[in-house]
Structure 1
Amino acid sequence: MSTQNLILNTDSYKLSHYLQYPPGTEFVSSYIESRGGEFEDVLFFGLQAFLKAYLSRPLTSADVDEAEAVAQAHVGLFNRAGWDRLLQKHGGRLPLEIEAVAEGTVLGTHIPLLQLRNTDAEFFWLPSYLETALLRAVWYPTTVASLSFACKRILRAYLEETADDPDAVLPFQLHDFGARGASTEEAAGLGGAAHLLNFLGTDTMSALRVARRYYGEAMAGFSIPASEHSTMTAWGRAGETDAYRNVIQRFAGPGKIVAFVVDSYDLWNAVDNIVGAELQPLIAHSGGRIVIRPDSGDPVQVLPELIERLMAHFGFHTNAKGYRVLPDFLRVIQGDGVHLGSLPGILAALKARGLSTENSAFGMGGGLLQRVNRDTMRWAMKASEAVINGRPREIYKDPVTDPGKRSKSGRWAVVAGADGCEAVRVEALAGRANLLRPVFRDGELLVDDRFADIRARAAEGLAASLAHRRPSTA
């Protein structure tokens, strides 16, 4: 039995839908979009991984047999003739065309990211059958990418106000700590890779595999040697100084960066009496950079106090923008209590005390990879056109009880406008380039994008986003 079976990668009610379309139905066209939600910017990512991992694999008779056994026992119904015909006529390859904007594109909500329809009239039921798998493949990595993008806009805005060289700091200022909080290894990989469109720091190694396997990136992200509480507390409370010294002696050095956690017992004792006193010469002359990590308490209170105490022991300089900065050999990473909602408050607290936000990097765990769901950006895949007996019919939903769920009708295109991407009807293209480009047809991948190119598009999108909607840090 295969670990993947696309026929069963659906919702139960889809098993009966092939019998519910009007007689004479030949083609069905559907699209996926964000209908709004928490973010203004949508950073598209993840479709290519799904196409390579799932849709490019031909179905087999074993898949059909397994699906039939499950479906008949589950709901008493299965489209055996349809799936057998797909095997016979197309060798198990899906007779579909999928158009999509280029991954890494930043666009607004209510704009189709992709559009699909069947290429063979016998399989009119196939596009909507794939809704469950395809929508899930798009909404999760795109939502994480968009969340990470929103964090990047906030971090950059504060760096521009408080740091001399934002571009030198920003790529590593938000680090992915989310692997253990993700629901599955696949989710960690996809979400982690989505984050790496915006930043270079990660501890989610599954993300590196996704970027390598599906996007041709040899190394998408980087990390450093760092401690955890078990490696610190194993020395015992009396050995706390030795624990820190061991990390510094084993991993620090010219051009190297190492981090260790300092709140296993008494954070302020560790900062004032161990880091700032007993180990002060070792840290100041390591030749590289030591990163101190608090891991408890309210970061709005703890982080500024920690940085100021470190400055009392190690000194600081005032940059050209008038904000205090720790010596280059010393930084802080805040990895607890960081999420999109808390980040502005933490940054504002640093700024209010005259501290450059370049003093600290941030680690985000569950708030990055797991504190999202389909409703975060109100994702939907909806059918918008059917061809019945050779005649196109626009189809849509328009519930009187929720106008926000009104769907689009007809076939759609995406074009570049003065303020970014715009959705237009296909018949209204008027010679403009359609950014919905074919990426998959009849089982074949038509576009194989590199991670570096997707990253570059995301960076262009950030520049455009900042130009149009610069956030206030007041």
Structure 2
Amino acid sequence: MHYLDNLLLNTDSYKASHWLQYPPGTDATFFYVESRGGLHDRTVFFGLQSILKDALARPVTHADIDEARDLFAAHGEPFNEAGWRDIVDRLGGHLPVRIRAVPEGSVVPTHQALMTIESTDPQAYWVPSYLETLLLRVWYPVTVATISWHAKQTIRRFLELTSDDPEGQLPFKLHDFGARGVSSLQSAALGGAAHLVNFLGTDTVSALCLARAHYHEPMAGYSIPAAEHSTITSWGREREVDAYRNMLKQFGKPGAIVAVVSDSYDIYHAIREHWGTTLREEVIASGATLVIRPDSGDPVEVVADSLVLLDEAFGHTVNGKGYRVLNHVRVIQGDGINPDTIRAILQRITDAGYAANNVAFGMGGALLQRLDRDTQKFALKCSAARVNGEWIDVYKDPVTDSGKQSKRGRLQLVRNVEDGRLNTVPVNDGTLPTGTEDAMVTVWENGELRVDEAFAMIRTRAERTRV
């Protein structure tokens, strides 16, 4: 047994002592997860299914308990050995919890419950709290999917304004460049898959593996041959044009797309002299689409300037909406890309008369790493407990921060049948308010995964909501 595979150690230290802290007579607890606001006013729910398959699929064993008992004893924390032994002996190691959540891919306004966790066995009422650490990590894929989804709405607006085929162009306009910038392989996989809920372009291979393993998706995203600085500069500055010619020779086939970083020395010289003069006829004859990648400087200025220079060299057509579309060439910007620079670049080139068709974006750190739990103010809180046979509201309401006031009661997210509006309400007797329907489904119960969705369905669900 490896320590990192032990569910009992996938928690915070102080959680080991919490079974001793509830009121006498407690035999049930109820928790919920929400985004309490943040950068965006709605979130895209994704990643719970993967987390559950990874963390909860294997039943707890006595070997797990032995390992956890010894570690917590040395660590200075009490440990509920008898409680865990009972779960193994009486329940086969399956955790007595019920997890309900909105379907993955759902776009939900902030300040609404996204999932709930409740105990199902009176003797194991303390288990939901023990799982907080691992379950709240859903904040990460939800936040990545949310950032990606909002970027998609920005790009869509510019494509609808300037492109003859906005929906055909959109899926490949934002490419995931983030694998090397995250803290772990798991983050790359889960965050990368979250981006692929919205787009089809990625260089994060682990995201493809996660979508295949946990969401039944044979191939979730696509990429193209592309140069990096080492493969260009290894030819030497005096042979820069030969490095570019080699890219055309290796990958420049009719209908192909090949991306070449071109700022190792001087992006403007590379476009004017190498691509626009020396190699111009070879680019055209190849039948491929050449994608120039600047990788330094001010992103807004460099992209705009590069389009003008490429236009001078290769020309353009004017589409049905009156915007220029370059012949044979495009630009992809990956350096300095975030939601703000995407919007600024698209506004700049639109003002200059160029269609959004002409550019694509690669986002790395701002997509998978430059975010944290407070980006969307995620929290998992207890909202109800049954003590001496009676359910009581459990909540916090700190005088120093009203934004941290938590919800009360056994909660349910409901959808108004008439207008589709979502609202979180206490449903202590199991009866939904008139004119509403349940907006959550039971995804996990007593060791069993109850919902096992395909990635394609999650994508469809996220696409249904637009702004």
Same fold by TM (over 0.5)?
yes
What does residue 310 of structure 1 align with? Answer: 310
Distance 1:157 1:127 in 2: 42
Q: 1:76 to 1:201 in 2, by over 3 A?
A: closer
Distance 1:419 1:444 in 2: 30
Distance 2:153 2:131 in 1: 34
- The equivalences for 1:121-270 within 5 A come to 121-136=122-137, 138-270=138-270
Name the SS for the 1:380 alignment partner: strand
Name the SS for the 1:317 alignment partner: strand
What does residue 335 of structure 1 align with? Answer: 334
8 Å CA contact 1:34, 1:109 repeated in 2: yes
Distance 1:111 1:199 in 2: 26
Counterpart amino acid of residue 369 in structure 1? L
8 Å CA contact 1:41, 1:150 repeated in 2: no
Counterpart amino acid of residue 197 in structure 1? V
Distance 1:49 1:222 in 2: 21
TM-score normalised by L of structure 2: 0.97
Name the SS for the 2:385 alignment partner: strand
Matched, 1:437 2:433: no
CA RMSD of aligned residues (A): 1.1
Distance 1:245 1:70 in 2: 60
Distance 2:270 2:405 in 1: 57
Shift of 1:421: 2.4
Name the SS for the 1:116 alignment partner: strand
**Any idea what the Cα deviations from partners look like across 1:340-393, whole Å, max 9, x if unmatched?**
232211211111211112100000000100011000000000000101121111
Q: Which runs of 5+ in 2 are unaligned?
A: none
Shift of 1:452: 0.2
8 Å CA contact 1:413, 1:429 repeated in 2: no
What does residue 14 of structure 2 align with? Answer: 13
Q: Which shifted more, 61-70 or 401-410?
A: 61-70
- The equivalences for 1:13-412 within 5 A come to 13-136=14-137, 138-327=138-327, 329-412=328-411
Find the partner of 1:458 among 453, 457, 462: 462
Shift of 1:234: 0.6
Distance 2:27 2:55 in 1: 25
Counterpart amino acid of residue 227 in structure 2? S
**Any idea what the Cα deviations from partners look like across 1:38-58, whole Å, max 9, x if unmatched?**
011210000000111111210
The list of structure 1 runs, each at least 4 consecutive aligned residues, that deviate by more than 4 angstroms after superposition, is none
Counterpart amino acid of residue 447 in structure 2? G
**Any idea what the Cα deviations from partners look like across 1:207-247, whole Å, max 9, x if unmatched?**
00010000000000000011100000011111111101111
Distance 1:122 1:434 in 2: 29
What does residue 412 of structure 2 align with? Answer: 413
Counterpart amino acid of residue 321 in structure 2? K
What does residue 471 of structure 1 align with? Answer: none
Counterpart amino acid of residue 170 in structure 2? L
Shift of 1:431: 6.5
Q: Which shifted more, 71-80 or 391-400?
A: 71-80
Shift of 1:433: 2.3
Q: 1:112 to 1:223 in 2, by over 3 A?
A: same
8 Å CA contact 1:176, 1:364 repeated in 2: yes
Distance 1:21 1:175 in 2: 48
How many residue pairs match? The answer is 461
Counterpart amino acid of residue 213 in structure 2? R
Counterpart amino acid of residue 378 in structure 2? W
Structure 1 vs Structure 2: percent identity of aligned residues?
52
Q: 1:420 to 1:171 in 2, by over 3 A?
A: farther
Q: Which shifted more, 317-326 or 139-148?
A: 317-326
Q: Which shifted more, 282-291 or 224-233?
A: 282-291
Shift of 1:419: 5.2
Name the SS for the 2:139 alignment partner: helix
Q: Which shifted more, 140-149 or 337-346?
A: 337-346
8 Å CA contact 1:12, 1:75 repeated in 2: no
Counterpart amino acid of residue 183 in structure 1? S
Distance 1:90 1:433 in 2: 33
Name the SS for the 2:438 alignment partner: coil
8 Å CA contact 1:107, 1:420 repeated in 2: no
Distance 2:420 2:263 in 1: 47
8 Å CA contact 2:28, 2:120 repeated in 1: yes
Name the SS for the 1:384 alignment partner: strand
Counterpart amino acid of residue 375 in structure 2? T
Shift of 1:76: 3.9
Shift of 1:425: 2.5
Counterpart amino acid of residue 59 in structure 1? V
Shift of 1:415: 2.2
Name the SS for the 2:99 alignment partner: strand
TM-score normalised by L of structure 1: 0.96
8 Å CA contact 2:185, 2:206 repeated in 1: yes
Q: Which shifted more, 178-187 or 155-164?
A: 155-164
